[in-house]
Structure formats: C-alpha cells, structure tokens
C-alpha cells in the first residue's frame, strides 16, 4: 500500500485529496506548512509527495529544493494556483516530477499519482533494498546488517533506528523525530530510550558512526 504525503495548507483541498486517495487504497498523511512538510518528506516513510506551492513557513519551491539537496528522490507532484509557463518551468527544473494547476479534476490527479508510483516501482532494484553508508550496510529485504564487512546482529528496533539514520545520512535528526518514527507518537517523550539505542548502535557499528549534535540530536555520518 503506497504512502502519500500531502503538503497543502488549504484544509478543504487536502481533505478532498486525502479522501479520494484513501478510497483508492492509499495511505495518506496531510501537513499544512512547508517546514513540517519538509521534515515529513525526509522521514523515509512515504512513497510520493503532493506539494502545494503557496505554503507558510517554506514555500513549495523551497521545500522541493531542500528535498533534492538532501538527496531525496521521492516523486513529487506540484499543485498550485499558478499556471504560467514560468512557474511550470521553475517547478520542473527544481526537481518536480509532475505539475498540475488548480483547479484540477481528481481523476486526473489520481492518474498521475498512479503513473509516478508505477514508474518508481519499475525502477526499484536490489540496490535500493541495500542501504550502504560508510562501512555500514543494511539489507532491507533480508534484515541483515554488516559493519566493516562483519555481520552484526540487530534487534527489530535497532534495525529500524539504523534504517531511519541511513535513509537520512548526513542530516541531523532530533530525538523527537527518532522517537516518533521508531517507537510511535504515543511513547513517553521524556524517555531516554533513543539515547540508549543510539548507544547500542555505536557499540555495534563503531563509535564514530553516529555523531551527537549537542542540543539538537544525532547524525549518521557518511564517512566522506
């Protein structure tokens, strides 16, 4: 089941899109500002982004720019009231995969979502099942891990934490982000479980693998 992130500040439109996609079997998440949208888009939890341009915090072009600068290859369909050639070119040259001016027909949007997801699926290979950052490798299909060529035993939580880190290698992730993605939003935010599990991974992958960014969170170093 494909997971679609909808970054749209008009509640009426985001609800309309979410309802239609859910009826077609997709899982959806909606956010209403660019800063949160960027955060969610880099989480590794989604298969496609539907992105509005006129957003508070960061506009859609800025969100798209930062996604691509962070190495995200998620397919992005841009929705906007702007329909000039210049805006279309700006969106596509900025890394958007598709572009639809408002107002739009949902059937057309759905067709484009299906197309982009199918193209992404066609490009999936064993290489994408294998995450490799520095000396650490994770096989997402077999759930096996190695560090420096030696096998490493990881619990389910450790594997998920390592996966989130490696999907966002080089980026600083807060404890709250890690807690929500690995343990869920209902977990006690005052818990030190993230710090404990980061310690576990450091022992298994090596002390220089995960850096502490004081007062912010942690970063999985790329080794470059």
Residue 182 CA from chain centroid, whole number: 14
Domain ranges across the chain: 3-123, 127-220
Q: Which residues contact 140 (CB under 8 A, 6 or more apart)?
A: 129, 130, 131, 163
Do the domains 127-220 and 3-123 match in fold? Answer: no
Q: Which residues contact 37 (CB under 8 A, 6 or more apart)?
A: 5, 7, 31, 49, 51, 55, 58, 63
Residue 73: C-alpha distances to residues 1, 24, 54, 120 (Å): 19, 24, 22, 10
The pLDDT of residue 124 is 45
Q: Which residues contact 186 (CB under 8 A, 6 or more apart)?
A: none
pLDDT at 162 over 60: yes
- Bond before 103 cis per omega within 30 degrees: yes
Each residue's pLDDT tens digit, 10-42:
999 999 999 999 999 999 999 999 999 999 999
Dist CA 172 CA 192 (whole Å) = 18
The token pair at 136 is 């650490």
- The fold of the 127-220 domain, in CATH, is Arc Repressor Mutant, subunit A (1.10.10)
The sign of the torsion formed by the CA atoms of 29, 32, 37, 43 equals negative
The percentage of the chain sitting over the pLDDT mark of 90, rounded to a whole number, equals 45
> In terms of Cα–Cα distance, which of 193, 191, 195, 192 is closest to 210?
195
Q: What is the mean pLDDT of the chain?
A: 85
Question: Cβ–Cβ contacts within 10 Å for residue 180, how many?
Answer: 16
The DSSP string of 188-217 is -TT--HHHHHHHHHHHHH-TTSEEEETTTE
CATH of domain 3-123: 3.40.50.2300
Each residue's pLDDT tens digit, 38-96:
999 998 889 999 999 989 999 999 999 999 888 788 899 998 776 566 777 778 788 88
53: which DSSP letter?
A: S
33: which DSSP letter?
A: S
CB 70 within 8 A of CB 42: yes
Residue 85: burial class (beta carbons within 10 Å; 0-12, 13-18, 19+) = exposed
The pLDDT of residue 6 is 97
Which of 17-31, 48-62, 111-125, 194-208 has the lowest average pLDDT?
Answer: 111-125
CB 218 within 8 A of CB 198: yes
Q: pLDDT category, 140, cuts 50, 70, 90?
A: confident
């Amino acid at each position: 089941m494909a997971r679609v992130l909808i970054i749209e500040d008009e509640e009426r439109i985001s609800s309309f899109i979410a309802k239609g996609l859910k009826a077609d079997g997709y899982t959806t998440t909606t956010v209403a500002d660019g800063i949160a949208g960027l955060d969610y888009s880099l989480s590794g939890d989604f298969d496609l982004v539907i992105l509005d341009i006129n957003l508070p915090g960061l506009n859609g072009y800025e969100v798209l720019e930062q996604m691509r600068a962070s190495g995200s290859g998620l397919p992005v369909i841009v929705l906007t009231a702007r329909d000039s050639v210049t805006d279309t070119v700006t969106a596509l040259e900025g890394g958007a995969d598709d572009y639809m001016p408002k107002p739009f027909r949902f059937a057309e949007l759905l067709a484009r979502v299906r197309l982009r997801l199918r193209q992404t699926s066609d490009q999936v290979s064993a290489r994408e099942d294998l995450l490799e950052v520095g000396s650490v490798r994770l096989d997402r299909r077999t759930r096996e891990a190695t560090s420096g060529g030696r096998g490493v035993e990881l619990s389910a939580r450790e594997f998920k934490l390592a996966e989130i880190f490696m999907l966002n290698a080089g980026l600083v992730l807060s404890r709250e982000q890690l807690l929500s993605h690995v343990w869920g939003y209902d977990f006690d935010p005052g818990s030190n479980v993230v710090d404990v599990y980061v310690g576990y991974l450091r022992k298994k992958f090596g002390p220089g693998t995960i850096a502490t960014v004081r007062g912010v969170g942690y970063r999985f170093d790329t080794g470059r």
